[in-house]
Structure 1
Amino acid sequence: MKLMRFGDRYGKKRLVVEDESGTLRDATGLVGDLNPDTLGAGALATLKTADLSVLPAFDPAGQRVAPPVAQPRNIWCVGLNYSDHAAEAGMDIPEEPILFNKSSATYCGPMDDILHAPDMTKLDWEVELGIVIGKPTLGISKAEAMDHVAGFTLVNDVSERAWQLERGGQWVKGKSYPNFCPTGPWLVTADAIGDVQALDMWLDVNGQRMQTGSTSKMIFDVATIVSYMSTFCQLEPGDLICTGTPPGVGAGMTPPVWLTPGDRVTLGIEGLGEQAQSVVAVGAAA
């Protein structure tokens, strides 16, 4: 099953599901919005058993694409989780997942602007697979992990490297500016994605291919990440886990390449759709 949400950033959203024919259907009247509460209450199970053909068709023309799930309680991230990206960065492959957070204010739609503040000097991109948690998750085994996953989505883990690496080494500083987590367009349930550990991924800047990768290169796979994190914290319905990026980030190039206002970033993951963002100076965002 594939789901999207449409609507203004601070207004009411429409939840849309794709039926077997590829037609978009408005499911708002059936389950309401897709948010941490409705996910925890079984919204996806309701949709999976519903006759989608009786739902009204939805025309997305002129509509803003919102993130596929309403504001998560937590945004988690895994660092250096691709073997080829670790090599690019000249860093050792981690023995355990490297975990950090992004501020909830980073969460935005897949086509929303990337904001560039005046004192940013090393703004970078990262195409990533996002895991969306479907139910409370604490102390589970790897074998149980996929039962706790609502689905998968596309994420751009935008990063300001100077803040991340040159301001005391606390990664959250370089990861938490508003709009630093474009998410969506789709939430795709596990049964509709095939092998989540074999998805092609890519990212372009101004039409030039920068990142080409595959989730097969993840050091810690989806099930391992979810089980591992549940050892230390309770994951909540709607929580987003960004799982790391392949090589080709700006910081890894010689010389490094950084985003500046006017740049255009496009990215995608097989089966999860595509994103497109413009980099705009703060105060100039639409």
Structure 2
Amino acid sequence: MQTITTVTELRSALGRVRDKHVGFVPTMGYLHDGHMALVKASRARCDVTVLSIFVNPTQFGPTEDLSTYPRNFLRDEQLCRDAGVTILFAPDAHEVYPAQFETFVEPGELARSLCGAFRPEHFRGVATVVCKLFNMVLPDIAFFGQKDFQQCAVVRRMAIDLNLPIEIVTVPTVREPDRLAMSSRNRYLNKEERLRALAISRGLFAAEAEFRVGERECEKLMAVARRHLDEVDRLQYLELVDADTLQPACSPLSQPAALCAAAYVGSTRLIDNVILSAGSEHGLRPDQTRMTLSRCDDTGR
């Protein structure tokens, strides 16, 4: 595995493998099994896997946790090496945003609901840095986790709208044994908060269970989920949205929908979601071709 910190070095290294199929896993580091599932998915489909670690300052608001975001580069580097990553790309902020940088990607309606309603500049930063990384790596396929469902939708729309010749693959959320969605921010939770955080996935899966036995009314499904969410300190949102448009889903559900939640447990903001789609164990049909639900099936999940 090569560890590379500059775009010049990266392009030189990738220039030697341009006849190969290149997969890309963009991350902010502090890697866990969720990230490793993306690496596994890339290795299953690609000859070369590039993983980036970059804590992107433009997607953090002024009161958010940029300065304290968890970092452990040496640990991450070893995990990448063990997982079979070909190139670890770890640029610094000046490499990604040089002096006098002023060009941003402005996402549209997909970025305005859910997290975007509470973090108005977040997806502008996400779209910009992902577009820049795509132009640096020039991958054939890029792999993202379903936990960040809205991010996947925004990135896929950007790739379509800007004619980027990159397949965007969404890999199912990887969870702890107790079903908490894996996240780098889980390390902020103390023992008591960690237990209360389970209310989020418990509520989502309770609604999914009702969907599986035939419930299709949006309000009833959200009410089932909401009953489990009293243990969080602040529920920022719980919304059932169309899986393509991210607009509120219509009752009775007839198209794939995403039940999405964001909540604070202590001072930690956590997000999670489940996909409600008939005919699939995981909420995603194996033949799914809708815009936001493209997936990789060979993930070991």
Q: Is the structural similarity TM-score above 0.5?
A: no
If asked which structure has higher relative contact order (CA below 8 Å, sep 6+), I would say 1
TM-score (norm 1): 0.26
